[in-house]
Amino acid sequence: MTTIITLKDIADLIPAGSRLICGGFQANRAPVGLVQALLDGPPGQFALTALPNPVPTDMLLRGDRLSLLDTSFNGLELSDGFHSSAGFRHAIECTNIGWKESDVYEIIQGMRAAAMGLPFIPAPEIAGSQYTESQYHRIHRVVDPFHGGESVFAVPPLNPDVALLHVQKADRNGNLWIEDPLYDEIILQASRLTIVSCEELVDSIDRPTISGLFVDHVLAIKNGAAPTGCRGYYGPDEKRLQEILGGTR
C-alpha cells in the first residue's frame, strides 16, 4: 500500500548504509529534491549504484555521503559539449571512497533478475566485449543446458535497498504517469523500498505508466527534478548544470 509522505520523512525512511539507486537519465528527471532531502537529514554514509545520471551522484559525493560508488557513466552531454563531474574526479583521486565501474547493461540485467526473483539472468550482448576481461564486473559464464552445453554470460540479481525517482504525475494510490519512461519500472520492481516524487499529485490516474503496486511512498515536489528537466513541465537548466558539475569539459 502506498503512503503519502513529506520531505521531512525522507531521512527517517532511509537508514545509513543503504544501497541507493536514482531514476532519471542524463539531464532529465533526476530526483534532485529527494536527494537534497536526504542530504538535509542526519549525517550518514550510503552506497550508490549510479546509472547515466550524474547530478544525484555529484550531490551525494559533495555532501560526503557515499562510502561506495558503483558507477556506469558519470558525465553529461549538454548543448555545448560533454561535461565531466569535478566532484566525481575529486572523490576518486583524493578520498578513500570505494568504487567500481559497471556496464549499464550489466546493472539493468541485474535488476531484471531481481525483479523476476531469479538467481541470475543471461547477458548475451556482453559476449565479445573486453569488459569481461576487466576486474570490475560481476559476470560469470554458465552452461546453457538447452543448446549443446555452450557457455553464456550471466549476471546475478541486483536489489537496491532504496529507489528514488521523480515523475510527472502520481496519484494517491501510487500509480505513476511518466511521459518519457525508460528503466523506471525495472528500478521500482527490483528495489526493496521505493520513494517517488512527482510534479503533480492527483486523485487518480486512469491509464498509469507504472502501477502503484511497486511504489511504497509518494510525495509532490514542484520542480523536484530541477536543474535537470522534467518533460512537459520544464527543461534542463544547462547553466546551473555546468555549475554543479564544476564547469569541466
> What is the sign, positive or negative, of the torsion defined by CA atoms of 114, 102, 63, 244?
negative
Query: What's the rounded Cα separation, in Å, for the pair 9 and 148?
Result: 54
Cα 196 → chain centroid:
12
Question: What is the pLDDT of the chain when averaged over all its residues?
Answer: 89
**Residue 48 pLDDT:** 96
Lowest mean pLDDT among 63-77, 124-138, 177-191, 201-215: 124-138
**Residue 188 pLDDT:** 97
**Residue 126 pLDDT:** 66
- Is residue 248 scored above 80 in pLDDT? no
- Is residue 187 scored above 90 in pLDDT? yes
Contact present, 17 and 46 (Cβ < 8 Å): yes
For the chain, domains (ranges, CATH) are 3-103+159-244 (3.40.1080.10)
The amino acid present at 151, given as its one-letter code, is: S
The whole-number average pLDDT for the span 55-65 is 92
The pTM of this model reads: 0.91
State the pLDDT confidence band at 25, using cuts at 50, 70 and 90: very high
> What does the pLDDT look like over 67-113, one tens digit per residue?
999 988 888 888 888 888 878 888 878 778 888 888 888 899 999 99
Query: What's the rounded Cα separation, in Å, for the pair 38 and 13?
Result: 9
**Residue 38 pLDDT:** 96
Query: What's the rounded Cα separation, in Å, for the pair 6 and 219?
Result: 6
> What does the pLDDT look like over 142-186, one tens digit per residue?
887 887 777 888 889 999 999 999 999 999 999 999 999 999 999
**Residue 133 pLDDT:** 62
**Residue 190 pLDDT:** 97
DSSP per-residue codes, the chain: --EE--GGGHHHHS-TTPEEEE--BTTB---HHHHHHHHTSS---EEEEE-S-HHHHHHHHHTT-EEEEEES--EEEETTEEEE-HHHHHHHHHS--EEEE--HHHHHHHHHHHHHT-S-EE-GGGTT-GGGGSSS---EEEE-TTTTT-EEEEE-----SEEEEEEEEEETT--EE-SS-SSHHHHHHH-SEEEEEEEEEES--SS-SB-GGG-SEEEE-TTTTTTSBBTTTB---HHHHHHHTTT--
Higher pLDDT, 164 or 249: 164
Q: Classify residue 87 as exposed, middle or buried by CB count within 10 Å of its CB (0-12, 13-18, 19+).
A: buried
**Residue 50 pLDDT:** 93
- Is residue 249 scored above 50 in pLDDT? no
**Residue 210 pLDDT:** 96
